Amino acid sequence: VLSGEVDVALSGDLTEAVTEAERAGLPVEIDARHVTFMDSSGVSMLARLAHRTPGRLTMIEPPDVVRFLLGVTRIGEVVDVVDVDPGFPDDEPPTGGDAA
């Protein structure tokens, strides 16, 4: 989840988060709906994630400022944008055994 200003002041935290995502080796989804600003450090983080994690990077509800950056930098070509939060998959109720 990203929120507020995603700028150079967060570069250490962003680098750590990206490194953890790379180690996990799983597809990445970023909830970006509460981002108010993003500079080149945020764009760099998106590019790194898009190219170093499996599957396509997914951004959930990015605001116009982020969509603009995705377009102007062409990173949007390697990122899927989801306009509605897909949420978590519904858990199936436990089955088995006789209900009393």
How far apart are alpha carbons 67 and 69 in whole angstroms?
5
Task: Quote the CA–CA distance of 94 and 92 in Å, as a whole number.
Answer: 6
For residue 100, the model assigns a pLDDT of: 46
In a domain, 59, yes or no: yes
Range of the domain at 17: 3-82
Q: How do residues 8-30 score in pLDDT, each as one tens digit?
A: 999 899 999 999 999 999 999 99
Total residues belonging to the chain: 100
Predicted pLDDT of residue 47: 93
Number of structural domains in the chain: 1
User: Which CATH number belongs to the domain containing residue 73 in this structure?
Assistant: 3.30.750.24
Is the pLDDT at 67 greater than 90, yes or no? yes
Q: Is residue 14 part of a domain?
A: yes
Q: At what angle do helices 40-52 and 64-73 cross, to 10 degrees?
A: 70
